[in-house]
Amino acid sequence: MYENAQYIQSYGRNTSIRVDINGVTSFVPLDPNNTDYAAIMTLVAEGKLTIAEAQ
């Protein structure tokens, strides 16, 4: 269960996603080989999750 996703920036560009995974706050790098990132992107593609822009 991925919820409350938001990009995090470093040096002015997105570098990871802060997201609650089964209720635990996690930080997921933008690496297609990372299974969390792949799952998040699948949910986004399916319209089931939105990633908020970085603050």
Partner 1 sequence: MAVPYTFANATTAIPLSQLDNNFATPITIGNTATQLGNTITTVNNLTLANVTISSVATPITVAEGGTGSTSLTANNVILGNGTSAVQVVAPGTTGNVLTSNGTNWVSQALSASSSSISNGTSNVSISSANGNITSYTNGVLAQTIDTNQNSIHPATVVMGSSFLRNRIINGDMRIDQRNSGASSTATNVYTVDRWSYAASQASKGTWGQNLNAVTPPVGFTNYLGFQSSSAYAVGASDFFAFIQPIEGYNIADLAWGTASAKTITLSFQVYSSLTGTFGGALKNSAGTYSYPFSYTISSANTWTPVSITIAGPTTSTWLTTNGLGVAVIFGLGVGTTYSGSAGSWAATNYLSATGATSVVGTSGATFYITGVQLEVGSVATPFERRLYGQELALCQRYFYQWSSAGGDGYTSVATGNGFSSTQCDFAIQYPVTMRAAPSVTFSAASTFYLDSIQAGNANSGAASWIDATTTNGSIRWTFTSGVTNGFALKLRANNSTSAYIQYFAEL
- Closest residue by Cα to residue 1 from 41, 40, 30, 27: 40
Choose which of 3, 4, 5, 8 interacts with partner 1 (CB under 8 A). Answer: 8
Nearer to partner 1, 26 or 42 (CB): 26
CB 12, min distance to partner 1, A: 12
- Closest residue by Cα to residue 49 from 16, 3, 1: 3
By CB under 8 A, residue 49 contacts partner 1: no
- Closest residue by Cα to residue 36 from 53, 52, 19: 19
- Which residues would be at the binding site for partner 1 (CB under 8 A)? 8, 10, 15-16, 18, 21, 24-29, 31, 33-37
